């Protein structure tokens, strides 16, 4: 069950989850980052029912993550091409892949991230673009943005108060 839309109206995490929709969308994006654009290719790769894939592609197109383009007039066929907004989700999908390899592969990884030109294995990390230092839950905090409401200011103040009094989590 999805939360009410008003619940996360100010939260960028909630808005992102609303945009992406659900787990099939992440898998569709994963395949799109590897070059898939056509309905049949997504369906074959994912083993997803056509009606579910149609709904997910429609949602991803309506939210601006894909652009639908005609590639055949007879019969009419469309491909789904990532937009800049969709391509910006690449780091998130790779972070999920890395987390899955670290925590959900007790017998060993089945898919690794590698540099295209050399094949060298890569380990993604999130870094601050300006200083190029790793970001961890222990090194960052949430602060109110310029459009934050009083409710968001209150929520973030509560979080800061809790963090100040809680034992520090190693990082």
pLDDT at position 11: 87
Residues of the chain with confidence (pLDDT) below 50: 1
Domain extent at residue 163: 125-171
Write down the pLDDT at residue 1. 45
pLDDT at 129 (0 to 100): 93
pTM reported for the whole predicted model: 0.83
Please write the tens of the pLDDT for every residue from 114-129: 999 999 999 999 999 9
Closest CA to 56 of 70, 42, 69, 73: 42
Residue 23 is encoded by which pair of tokens?
Answer: 């787990």
Q: Do 50 and 102 fall into the same domain? A: no
Q: Are residues 9 and 84 in the same domain?
A: yes
84 and 11, same domain (yes or no): yes
pLDDT of residue 31: 97
Instruction: Indicate whether 96 and 28 sit together in one domain.
Output: no
Q: 32 and 53, same structural domain?
A: yes
The pair of three-digit structure tokens given for residue 148, joined into one six-digit string: 């934050």
Alpha carbon distance 92, 146 (integer Å): 24
Domain total of the chain: 3
Rounded to whole angstroms, the Cα distance separating 96 from 137 reads 16
């Amino acid at each position: 069950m999805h939360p009410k839309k008003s619940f996360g109206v100010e939260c960028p995490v909630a808005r992102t989850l609303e945009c992406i929709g659900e787990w099939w969308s992440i898998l569709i994006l994963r395949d799109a980052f590897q070059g898939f654009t056509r309905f049949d290719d997504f369906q074959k790769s994912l083993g997803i029912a056509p009606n579910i894939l149609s709904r997910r592609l429609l949602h991803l197109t309506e939210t601006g993550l894909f652009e639908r383009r005609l590639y055949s007039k007879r019969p009419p066929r469309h491909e789904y091409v990532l937009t800049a907004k969709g391509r910006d989700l690449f780091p998130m999908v790779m972070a999920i892949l890395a987390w899955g390899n670290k925590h959900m592969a007790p017998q060993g990884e089945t898919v690794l991230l590698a540099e295209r030109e050399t094949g060298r294995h890569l380990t993604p990390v999130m870094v601050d673009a300006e200083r190029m230092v790793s970001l961890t839950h222990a090194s960052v905090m949430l602060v109110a943005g310029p459009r934050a409401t009083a409710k968001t200011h209150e929520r973030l103040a509560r979080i800061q108060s809790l963090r100040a009094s809680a034992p520090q989590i190693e990082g």
